[in-house]
Amino acid sequence: MELEPNTTWLHFLAVLGAVAAMLYGLNMIYKRIKAKNQGFGPNTLKAVGVVLFIPTILILAVLTKFQPETLAALLGTVAGYVLSHSKPDE
């Protein structure tokens, strides 16, 4: 099965946008840590995980033939991870 040229460009733009979102998110996390003179803690690890994991799921959804149930399970895992208990002072 051959892809249409427009579909390939859409895939490329989606992946490029996801990578840009990852880099922007990591930059914002770094700036916030530096501004607060804080170290790398558990909440920072959560933020980095979310910033990297959600665009990665988007890339997988665009480039692979994952079933919708698989993507829903991955997003549910991220939601559980983000909403789990965290310390309010970090």
Give the residue numbers spanning the domain of 29: 11-83
* 43 assigned to some structural domain: yes
Please give the pLDDT value at position 71.
Answer: 84
* 4 assigned to some structural domain: no
* 3 assigned to some structural domain: no
pLDDT tens digits for range 12-29 = 898 999 999 999 999 999
Which residues in the chain land under pLDDT 70? 1-6, 85-90
* 31 assigned to some structural domain: yes
Give me the DSSP letters along the chain.
-PPPHHHHHHHHHHHHHHHHHHHHHHHHHHHHHHHTT----HHHHHHHHHHHHHHHHHHHHHHS---HHHHHHHHHHHHHHHHS---TT-
* 67 assigned to some structural domain: yes
What pTM was estimated for this model as a whole?
A: 0.74
Q: How many structural domains comprise the chain?
A: 1
* 89 assigned to some structural domain: no
* 58 assigned to some structural domain: yes
* 17 assigned to some structural domain: yes
